[in-house]
Structure 1
């Protein structure tokens, strides 16, 4: 009797997913596994043993610093920079190909001479473009995780996240909602502030005002809104920094957690580390900008190194699953 038959015959549940029926056993630890754990029967080991099979990441949230993170990622980058750059090129190619969907949809709408059809097709193409680009981005992070665990670059892993389309869409919708709600509240407060100061009542424009008159009339309002936006930017960015870890969290596990669980884990990983996350994000951006400045020659390897830093930071910050208990936001 095979492992798969044995798992089903015993009526056992998966060790990692108790709500799922076991379809086999792990060849290393012997735990029952479901189809998700065995990657539909293609892997003889459970996710935990697959992770342990690679070299453990040398940093954790208690010991990591940017200097140590840079040292680890730089060593890996020196070893794998060529293949990592190829992975980035493939990612950019996939993103460009997805962008063509929008152009094709726009062209079809124009050919049909229907504004409504053009709008619908453009929206569908935009969603498809964002989905494809996002899933390949998850694949690029998965490649970075592999090499940081001591493996080699496998460019096929760029497309290993396509089965997460639904969790990715749901998670991104939740992220957009979390970002938009504070912005809407701030906009409403700004409007109330303008109304309360009486700035609107002071606007008096003639029948045919000049551009200068319009600017002079709106300048106080724009000044108040700009000042309020600048004051609110720092605390808002600080509050939302854990969202920077959402994509790595989605990419790490073979089976994507629920959107709420992804956000919970992201907030738990970011606990007490927000300034460090901001620093790594800024450094990653500077590395990519530096690549552009070198006649764009270094932008591809620069993007590869930036992705390594982000993936390495996530591996250092990710809390053990039984300890990641902080709810968001916090």
Structure 2
């Protein structure tokens, strides 16, 4: 009889959460555990034993900075860099496969003498492409959580998030709408600038004409000023979205799209500049890896993923549930 069967057969309650049914036992102390404690069966030990064994993430909102994050992520990367690189390589392979799926759907649509069928196939192919890429990316984030909590890379975990297809799709749709707002504002500003500078009123587009330059310079000035004015609010709006995918990956049963965004927003409060710094350093690591004969891009991307996962674990707000601090 498995631990799960034993816990349920005994009708026991979780030692940490007395109101919840036990679904297993801790491999170290033998206490009954629920699904929350075991992260859906992924963690063999209870939260208390994991904490005692040092399997907790050492940083939090109060004590983290990039230097400390690096001190945590770099040793973890050195320990698991080979398997992390393999996980990234598989993720890239799945991405290429998803792109191929989209191209096949688009090709079939182009071969069919029907605009409606072609449109439907194109949409289906695009949605399937985005879902496959996104869900495997969630799996890669979950792998990084495992490594940062002292575990080893299990590449099978890349495909452990497929049950989140619907919440992932709804959340990404909501994110798309949010990102669309500043994009529309910039487009609207561009149209106003074109009208205001007269570039839409029969200006000679010959770059050698004075009329062209007299219209272009004010246009660029207006767009530049608009960008400077909007960059701060756009950054303020977009930075919390960095945490959306890790938030989806963290729990086995993801919260609603609105709750994911709310948690991401709360976690980013007071942390935006530090999060931007981590993003910049992760980007520089990938650029440096690309210039090391291109081969270094794969491990550099693995390191960047580890930094992003560590950043999320550092800034995430406590849920008031001790077990949730220990991803399986």
Residue aligning to 1:328: none
Q: 1:315 aligns with which of 308, 313, 317?
A: 313
Residue aligning to 1:270: 268
Matches within 5 A, 1:68-217: 68-188=68-188, 191=191, 198-200=196-198, 203-204=201-202, 211-212=206-207, 215-216=212-213
Output the CA distance in 2 between the equivalents of 1:215 and 1:315: 52
- Check whether the contact 2:39–2:252 (CA below 8 A) recurs between aligned residues: no
- Check whether the contact 2:73–2:148 (CA below 8 A) recurs between aligned residues: yes
| CA spacing shift, 1:47–1:141, aligned 2, 3 Å | farther
TM-score by length of 2: 0.81
Output the CA distance in 2 between the equivalents of 1:229 and 1:44: 47
Query: Post-superposition shift, 1:65?
Result: 1.7
Output the CA distance in 2 between the equivalents of 1:233 and 1:79: 39
Residue aligning to 1:300: 298
Corresponding residue SS for 1:57: coil
Corresponding residue SS for 2:150: coil
- Check whether the contact 1:54–1:151 (CA below 8 A) recurs between aligned residues: no
Deviations 1:254-307 (A, max 9, x none): 111111111111112111110000000011111111111112010000000001
Output the CA distance in 2 between the equivalents of 1:202 and 1:258: 45
Corresponding residue SS for 1:269: helix
Q: 1:30 aligns with which of 29, 32, 38?
A: 32
Matches within 5 A, 1:230-241: 230-241=228-239
Q: 1:291 aligns with which of 289, 292, 295?
A: 289
Q: Could you list the runs of 5+ residues in structure 1 that have no partner in the other structure?
A: 324-330
Output the CA distance in 2 between the equivalents of 1:201 and 1:38: 59
Query: Post-superposition shift, 1:111?
Result: 2.5
Query: Post-superposition shift, 1:100?
Result: 0.3
Q: Which structure's relative contact order is higher, taking Cα pairs within 8 Å and 6+ residues apart?
A: 2
Output the CA distance in 2 between the equivalents of 1:26 and 1:83: 29
Output the CA distance in 2 between the equivalents of 1:277 and 1:225: 27
- Residue 4 in 1 paired to residue 8 in 2? yes
Q: Could you list the runs of 5+ residues in structure 2 that have no partner in the other structure?
A: 322-328
Question: CA RMSD for the aligned pairs?
Answer: 3.3
Corresponding residue SS for 2:32: coil
Deviations 1:65-92 (A, max 9, x none): 2111112111111111100000001000
- Check whether the contact 1:3–1:25 (CA below 8 A) recurs between aligned residues: yes
Matches within 5 A, 1:31-50: 33=35, 39=40
Query: Post-superposition shift, 1:182?
Result: 3.2
TM-score by length of 1: 0.81
